[in-house]
Structure 1
Amino acid sequence: MKAAVDSQGTRRGKMPAYVLALEDKLAGYMSVEQIGRVRRASELGAKAHHGQTRKSGEPYITHPVAVAGILADLRLDVETIIAAILHDTLEDTALCAQELTAEFGSTVSELVDGVTKLDKLQFKSRQEAAAESFRKMLLAMARDLRVILIKLADRLHNMRTLGSMEPESRRRIALETLEIYAPIAQRLGMNRFKAELQDLGFKAMYPDRHRVISARIRMALGNRREAMGRIEAALEARLNAEGLAHRTVSRIKSPYSIYRKMRNEQKSFAQVMDVYGFRVVVDTVMHCYQALGAVHALFKPMDGRFRDFIAIPKANGYQSLHTVLFGSFGAPIEIQIRTEDMDAVADRGVAAHWAYKTDSDPANSAQNRAREWLSSLVDEQNGTPSSLEFIESVKVDLFPDEVYLFTPRGKILALPRNATALDFAYAVHTDVGSHAVAARVDKKLAPLRTRLESGQSVEIITAPSAVPSTQWLEWVVSAKARTAIRHFLKRLQHEDAIELGHRMLDRAMAALGASLEVLPPDQLGRYLEENKLRALEDLLADIALGNRTAGQVARALLQLQDEGSIVCPNSVEKILITGAERGVLSFGNCCHPVPGDAIMGYLSAGKGIVVHRLECPNMAELRKSPERCLEIDWDTSVSGDYRVELRIIVANKPGVLAQVAAAVAQANSNIENVEYKERDLMSAALLFTIEVANRKHLADVMRGVRRLGVVTAVYRHPV
């Protein structure tokens, strides 16, 4: 054993200082054999990155070793430390995954692969590449939490050394840190990481604001040092009198948290800083509540400012008692009370008391909750093909503020701030959300769009016939609900597109004296293969969405070369629409057609058919592309409500708007928007956006409005 130690010592003499510093940290909790594996990783990493330098001019290997040092401060396991040292090798060096597996095992190789970006693949934009890379990393996180710990440490060291980057790159990286990585650190309970990432991101984004606020914090702390000391002494004396073993720490707000509070709550610096903050750490949960009683006896608590995060932990596993007291210095005193274990989890989150666990092993509450969150992300990404859409939904899910709600059986659900009853329904189960019709909030009937508040009990009422609608997307804020609704609507859109595309192609084939039914299968198969389409359904959906015109497809299928042939002769029947094909059918905002109007369809790429009135002011321009114009008409059974605009000239008198609105409502029409377009001393022009069922319903509304004595004229807009 002595020879082995001597050998290690000899080798240490040849190691760079940054590697020795890492090994000194590891010596506090790793065996000699494990430190030897880390040293081998350092040597391999240095060899792989040989000749590469950072923007600062330092050897590149100093960065991954520094990342490993950040993780060593958290006392993470040997596989994580090795993967941190090698985390850029697959991306930036000739080293391959097979070599990593052979040298250090499959776990290290998978961790490195999980952190590796997708820069070598081709994407339409930098944003799409970053989104797809982030998506891949989240899926790797779901398999192994250590992936995100490495990535957060990587980002933290990059932020600490951001000064050597170009200003534009600094701002881009800082914005990404503030929007994505700091919230992820918070979601995982890693408040120490979150605070430093936020502060460094704020400093890089707004250096002048950071400098000014930092200077004012130092000045304010100097002015109030005596008051802080007296409050702390009073707390210490009271807790000692209760016989409580404890430690008290004063809390100081960071420049970023002050800046965000000033901006979001429209407060001045003096208002934000006019608070004294302390943390009391005790040994047991029982003593937390005993300490709470002690501080409430010392200073009077503020009504409604007590939060028990021990009984109801935050979604990231954070536990603590929060209370605000009336101090003797004219400013509130914020107190947090927690155990040593809770303090470790609050500081380091999933990395607290780290030992990598399998699903069957116990873990700290932050790790359990992180795994639940990541599992839900995996489910959501399966229904979200677009990486940019997925990353936006994850951003919503990273809101720091949450509401805590109860199911009828007493189970607690945490949802993002401003969540509605519909969000709650989807949180219970996707099927419950998809068939929801109403809710009972604290046993009172409420609509699905009702915003919920912490502590409420919510029960969802469902019906088998209920299905999601596009309006639901405006009511929800949670990623799970938004993803489930979009998935349903896209599936519905695809089915609608296939059915409508079939009708359009049938009509185009009939115009050429043929039929899709009698087309030889091999001819259809050859066309699909040449155009890289998997099935006929994909072709039909493409036609309905305007990505291909039915006439061109029909001619190609029949191998007709005469592009000047008549596509739509009079003998061919018009395509009839019911209005229910909303997935692939929209109505022009320029003319607002309603059932009963003479209409025409225009194929817009990616949108499908846009319906216009024949009197539409854009008609002349649309007809310049005859291959995209469709002869359509209303079916005998038309459903839904249709938006229309009315220009109403009224006398300029008090109460006129209310009279007109009442007349519209009396005709069973919903008002979406009202604008004053013109106004003088005698009259005013109002533009009402309303919903009607058909042309007759519109006439009834106009007739009711026209009867009012204050109304001079009513026109449909545009005329």
Structure 2
Amino acid sequence: MVWDRPLGSRQKAGASGLDRLVIISLFWIMTEIDKEEEKKQILRRYRRLLRHAKPFLKDDDAKLIRKAFNVAAEAHRHMRRKSGEPYIYHPIEVADICVSEIGLGPTSIVCALLHDVVEDTEWTLEDIEREFGRKYARIIDGLTKISGVFEQGTSAQAENFRKMLLTLSDDVRVILIKLADRLHNMRTLQSMPRNKQLKIASETIYLYAPLAHRLGLYAIKSELEDLHLKYSDYTTYRGIADKINETKTARANFIRSFIKPLQKELNDSKLNYEIKGRPKSIHSIWNKMKKQNIPFEEVYDLFAIRIILDVPFELEKSACWRAYSIVTDYYSPNPDRLRDWISTPKGNGYESLHTTVMSRQGKWVEVQIRTRRMDEIAEKGYAAHWKYKETPKGANSGLEQWISRVRGMLEQTEKTAMEFVDDFKSNLVNEEVFVFTPKGELRPLPKHSTVLDFAFDIHTEVGARCIGAKVNQKLVPLNYKLRNGDQIEIITSVKQKPNEGWLNYVVTSKARHKIKDSLHEEKKRLASDGKEIVLRKLKQMKLEPTNEIWVSLRDHFGEKTQTDFLSKVALGKIDPKDIKKFQERRERVTKKRTGRASDAKSFEKALTKEKGEKTNELLIGEDMDVVDYNFAKCCQPIPGDDIFGFVTVSEGIKIHRTSCPNAVELLSNHGHRVIKARWASAASNDFVADLVVIGTDRVGLINDVTKTISEDLQVNMRSMSFSSDSGIFEGSLQVYVHSLKHLNTLIKALKSIQGVIKVKRVDSKGNMATGS
């Protein structure tokens, strides 16, 4: 055997000939050392494979495995993985997974060692058949990807997936080896670039993890799911993993105390058994957190206790129920959580008895009871099932039935590969939707994503020019919601551009952001045209385009920003002739408001003149006769709130809370109009406050709420509305209060009412208000 790699030279600029010779000599020595170490590592991995395979070997199996290893090592001798390791590591590891984690035999080991030689080297299927035989060539053919360019409407991945499943008709080992191959690729994914990581991880969760589950390979399915989470959302993965490790000691102590009384009873019953506790997979914990919207600390079943019995097949069912009786004699079971998969195994052959019981510490614990045979099938799936195929009474026939159904699907030759994959996935539920591009690239998107989300996911320009799409060759509108397995071809037009209605069609943040960016750019272009129109009109009216004029115009036409005002002028939604009406109104208001403040400095002068003393602070409740001010409707301040005054162009001074949703814009963009304001101690007016009350519904609840507000606290209500759904009520209240202290007293009283869970103050937009 020869393992080699291309060599380079390192030559230091300016070094002498002797120095260069020393450097080159050292490089060659280090390279030779590396090569020798790699050869040793390859042999160590190969010998470990043989140790794991030894129980399965017969006759000349070892010679055939050695021959396959030599062929693979020679064929891949110049190849390296992205990590820099010799490529031969990969087929050896795939073969080892086949034998040690799935339980496959010599044929699978040979094919795993050779699984990439036809696809990646000069070896052909004819060479494989000549050297090893037709059986091996057929399996390796199933493992070899289809090459070439696919027609429009087909998918390379779908075609390869169907090709792999076609071997179910001949040899299921193709799929099992492919799962081993995918598992090792996922285990070594850290060396791949980020885009490849996401692509491979997405394919894995979409096709391979569900396939492992369907074939009963629980351990592999769980690891594939965990690795998908690791590379798609590392922060979440690491966070859950760390918390599992942090609770490891406490969990071990809990398990010991839980199983101690069970061990005594099981010993007395003369059952041969093993008890072990195992944590749930990271992915399953994450799924539970997501579905139930709870933090890690509230996931009660972080682990399960497993009781494994060693009994003959004919005694399995009775032994499992005896063990169940022992568990439930000591711990109280949850009657809604009993799962009997012994009498009726799952479709993938899984057999076990599950129950959830209450521990002495007040925690629910899942207990799984199964036999050694059942446990091996649960962990290793189809290969273990095949081992027990001759077991009396047709054990695990459910898996055979499922494989027969898949074979039936494959016989429907009129279906495209995409249709086949869609059918294959139809019973699997995902939180994401996985779709295909016209070239067969798999793309994950959030559930409920539309064609427009997909278009923007491909490229911003594709999204911006999208006028529709073909999904599985059928024309659909922009708001079509994508389904798993859809193949989408986006239709574009250079005349198309985003509009505000598109924001109702998208769910992804990328699409929303890009649409808003595009709308903003379009508005800026229109605003430039609109500005020219307004400037011409102002010139005709002999008005200088000062900042005050621009702000006055914006306020007069009720627009939030100058860009909005000018773009509407350009679009004709605001008639330039109406600017003349603005001028007439402005002149009337100016005559009426002579002497009023126009900014903070003029306000200070006017206030000092009126009060006869120098001051720059507005006292709310005392200065009403001196200065005209109003309370902003957007935040409805009440005495006790932190506030500021804002000098408007046409509506006098508005009082805002510092936590007002508009405060950031006003304080940062119009600082010259902001004035100091505080509540005077004598303020005794009534102020409106918005409240939301949430709780559990009951008869008489609304009466208790209104009695507390009106009778007990003598608070007047402006409006009230309540709604109830599935025993939970939500009420919206507008009440008149004197101060923040008064409001907080009301909130406290409402919280004390039986059934009320939460009371919160909200602003005009329904957002939770701060400061109370």
Normalised to the residue count of structure 2, the TM-score between the two structures is 0.48
Alignment of 1:506-655 (within 5 A): none
Partner of 2:425 in structure 1?
395
Report the alpha carbon displacement of residue 122 of structure 1 after superposing the two structures with TM. 3.3
CA 1:295/1:353 → structure 2, altered by over 3 Å: closer, same or farther?
A: same
Report the alpha carbon displacement of residue 285 of structure 1 after superposing the two structures with TM. 2.4
Partner of 2:306 in structure 1?
279
Match of 1:191 among 214, 218, 227: 218
CA 1:297/1:15 → structure 2, altered by over 3 Å: closer, same or farther?
A: closer
Alignment of 1:14-53 (within 5 A): 16-31=43-58, 33-53=60-80
Match of 2:114 among 60, 81, 86: 86
> Is 1:292 aligned with 2:292?
no
CA 1:226/1:21 → structure 2, altered by over 3 Å: closer, same or farther?
A: closer
Alignment of 1:99-248 (within 5 A): 99-124=127-152, 128-248=155-275
* AA partner of residue 16 (structure 1): L
Partner of 1:97 in structure 2?
125
CA contact (8 A) 1:349 1:367 kept: no
SS at match of 2:80: coil
Report the alpha carbon displacement of residue 228 of structure 1 after superposing the two structures with TM. 2.0
Once residues 157 and 208 of structure 1 are traced to their aligned partners in structure 2, the CA distance between those partners, rounded to angstroms, is 22
Report the alpha carbon displacement of residue 113 of structure 1 after superposing the two structures with TM. 0.5
Report the alpha carbon displacement of residue 356 of structure 1 after superposing the two structures with TM. 11
CA contact (8 A) 1:210 1:255 kept: yes
Report the alpha carbon displacement of residue 390 of structure 1 after superposing the two structures with TM. 2.0
CA contact (8 A) 1:123 1:129 kept: no
SS at match of 1:189: coil
Once residues 204 and 364 of structure 1 are traced to their aligned partners in structure 2, the CA distance between those partners, rounded to angstroms, is 44
SS at match of 1:352: helix
Query: Root-mean-square deviation (CA), in Å?
Result: 3.5
Partner of 1:306 in structure 2?
338
Report the alpha carbon displacement of residue 269 of structure 1 after superposing the two structures with TM. 1.1
Partner of 1:343 in structure 2?
375
Alignment of 1:692-703 (within 5 A): none
Partner of 1:268 in structure 2?
295
Once residues 165 and 40 of structure 2 are traced to their aligned partners in structure 1, the CA distance between those partners, rounded to angstroms, is 40
Normalised to the residue count of structure 1, the TM-score between the two structures is 0.51
Once residues 337 and 398 of structure 2 are traced to their aligned partners in structure 1, the CA distance between those partners, rounded to angstroms, is 26
SS at match of 2:247: helix
Report the alpha carbon displacement of residue 142 of structure 1 after superposing the two structures with TM. 3.1
Partner of 1:663 in structure 2?
none
SS at match of 1:287: helix
Partner of 1:57 in structure 2?
84
* AA partner of residue 108 (structure 1): Y
Report the alpha carbon displacement of residue 121 of structure 1 after superposing the two structures with TM. 4.2
Report the alpha carbon displacement of residue 50 of structure 1 after superposing the two structures with TM. 2.7
CA contact (8 A) 2:204 2:228 kept: yes
Alignment of 1:365-444 (within 5 A): 368-381=397-410, 382=412, 385-398=415-428
* AA partner of residue 357 (structure 2): L
CA 1:365/1:394 → structure 2, altered by over 3 Å: closer, same or farther?
A: farther
SS at match of 1:345: helix
SS at match of 2:83: coil
**1:212-256 Cα shifts (integer Å, max 9, x gaps):** 110111112333432221101122122223332211111211211
Once residues 216 and 585 of structure 1 are traced to their aligned partners in structure 2, the CA distance between those partners, rounded to angstroms, is 48
CA contact (8 A) 1:189 1:366 kept: no
CA 1:307/1:39 → structure 2, altered by over 3 Å: closer, same or farther?
A: same
**1:171-219 Cα shifts (integer Å, max 9, x gaps):** 1111111121111111111111111111111111111111111011111
Report the alpha carbon displacement of residue 367 of structure 1 after superposing the two structures with TM. 6.8
* AA partner of residue 229 (structure 2): F
* AA partner of residue 82 (structure 1): V
Misfit runs of 4+, over 6 Å: 12-15, 361-367, 584-589
Identity of aligned residues (%): 35
**1:472-510 Cα shifts (integer Å, max 9, x gaps):** xxxxxxxxxxxxxxxxxxxxxxxxxxxxxxxxxxxxxxx
Once residues 273 and 102 of structure 1 are traced to their aligned partners in structure 2, the CA distance between those partners, rounded to angstroms, is 58
CA contact (8 A) 2:280 2:302 kept: no
Once residues 232 and 70 of structure 1 are traced to their aligned partners in structure 2, the CA distance between those partners, rounded to angstroms, is 32
CA 1:363/1:346 → structure 2, altered by over 3 Å: closer, same or farther?
A: farther
**1:324-350 Cα shifts (integer Å, max 9, x gaps):** 112111111111111111111111111
SS at match of 2:246: helix
Report the alpha carbon displacement of residue 372 of structure 1 after superposing the two structures with TM. 2.6
SS at match of 1:70: helix
* AA partner of residue 426 (structure 2): V
Report the alpha carbon displacement of residue 586 of structure 1 after superposing the two structures with TM. 11
Once residues 210 and 474 of structure 2 are traced to their aligned partners in structure 1, the CA distance between those partners, rounded to angstroms, is 39
Once residues 380 and 292 of structure 2 are traced to their aligned partners in structure 1, the CA distance between those partners, rounded to angstroms, is 28
* AA partner of residue 190 (structure 2): G
- Structure 2 unaligned blocks of 5 or more: 1-38, 432-469, 479-488, 491-772
* AA partner of residue 66 (structure 1): E
- Structure 1 unaligned blocks of 5 or more: 1-11, 402-546, 548-583, 590-604, 607-719
Report the more deviating stretch, 362-371 or 236-245.
362-371
Report the alpha carbon displacement of residue 353 of structure 1 after superposing the two structures with TM. 6.3
SS at match of 1:322: strand
SS at match of 2:348: coil
SS at match of 2:155: helix
Once residues 287 and 239 of structure 2 are traced to their aligned partners in structure 1, the CA distance between those partners, rounded to angstroms, is 14
Once residues 95 and 587 of structure 1 are traced to their aligned partners in structure 2, the CA distance between those partners, rounded to angstroms, is 46
CA 1:366/1:385 → structure 2, altered by over 3 Å: closer, same or farther?
A: farther
**1:406-426 Cα shifts (integer Å, max 9, x gaps):** xxxxxxxxxxxxxxxxxxxxx
CA 1:296/1:158 → structure 2, altered by over 3 Å: closer, same or farther?
A: same
**1:422-479 Cα shifts (integer Å, max 9, x gaps):** xxxxxxxxxxxxxxxxxxxxxxxxxxxxxxxxxxxxxxxxxxxxxxxxxxxxxxxxxx
* AA partner of residue 371 (structure 2): T
CA 1:102/1:298 → structure 2, altered by over 3 Å: closer, same or farther?
A: same
* AA partner of residue 109 (structure 2): I
CA contact (8 A) 1:276 1:332 kept: no
Once residues 429 and 369 of structure 2 are traced to their aligned partners in structure 1, the CA distance between those partners, rounded to angstroms, is 24
Once residues 585 and 255 of structure 1 are traced to their aligned partners in structure 2, the CA distance between those partners, rounded to angstroms, is 39
Alignment of 1:466-477 (within 5 A): none
CA contact (8 A) 2:145 2:160 kept: yes
Once residues 388 and 127 of structure 2 are traced to their aligned partners in structure 1, the CA distance between those partners, rounded to angstroms, is 24
Report the alpha carbon displacement of residue 67 of structure 1 after superposing the two structures with TM. 0.5
CA contact (8 A) 1:70 1:153 kept: yes
Report the alpha carbon displacement of residue 317 of structure 1 after superposing the two structures with TM. 0.6
How many residues align? The count is 398
Report the alpha carbon displacement of residue 28 of structure 1 after superposing the two structures with TM. 3.3
Match of 1:352 among 384, 389, 403: 384
